[in-house]
């Protein structure tokens, strides 16, 4: 994930959260909105309840890898904020990948209509 494809500012996170458009499953909650940039941007939120900093960084790395694999940033004009619950287990990567890919597909199919 390139730096241009990341949401960094608190104000942008707040705007996306305030819209209250989201899809959820047992591990991930993905908030989303349309943007005007011509490409998608992603923000990640991992709580301190997920563990020490080393574990949280590993979780972020894994989620970024999943998003890079399943999301074509140039095809969609979306801002996504992925909130990762404390139920996330880094050792169950394949199951986590399947759950997140399903959510992203639901969001992109809704936004194409």
Give me the phi and psi of 87, to 5 degrees please.
-80, -10
Nearest to 42 by CA among 12, 85, 86, 75: 12
Strand pairing class (28-34; 78-84)? antiparallel
Q: Give dist(CA 97, CA 18) in Å, integer.
A: 27
Q: Give dist(CA 27, CA 86) in Å, integer.
A: 8
Residue 75 has pLDDT above 90, yes or no: no
What are the structural domains, with CATH classification, of the chain? Answer: 3-105 (3.30.230.10)
Q: What is the pLDDT of residues 82-109, one digit of tens each?
A: 999 999 999 999 999 999 999 999 988 8
**pLDDT confidence tier of residue 76, bands split at 50, 70 and 90:** confident
Residue-level pLDDT at 85: 94
Q: What is the pLDDT of residues 16-74, one digit of tens each?
A: 999 888 999 999 999 999 988 888 899 999 999 999 999 999 999 999 999 988 888 78
Would you say the C-alpha torsion 45, 47, 53, 58 has a positive or negative sign? negative
Q: How many CB atoms lie within 10 A of CB 111?
A: 14
């Amino acid at each position: 994930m390139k730096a241009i494809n990341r949401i960094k500012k608190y104000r942008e996170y707040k705007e996306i959260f305030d819209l209250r458009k989201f899809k959820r499953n047992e591990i991930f909650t993905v908030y989303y909105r349309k943007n005007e940039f011509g490409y998608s941007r992603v923000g990640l939120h991992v709580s301190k309840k997920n563990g020490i900093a080393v574990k949280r960084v590993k979780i972020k790395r894994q989620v970024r890898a999943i998003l890079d694999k399943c999301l074509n940033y140039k095809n969609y004009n979306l801002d996504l904020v992925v909130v990762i619950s404390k139920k996330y287990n880094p050792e169950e990567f394949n199951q986590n990948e399947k759950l997140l890919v399903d959510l992203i597909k639901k969001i992109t199919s809704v936004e194409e209509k």
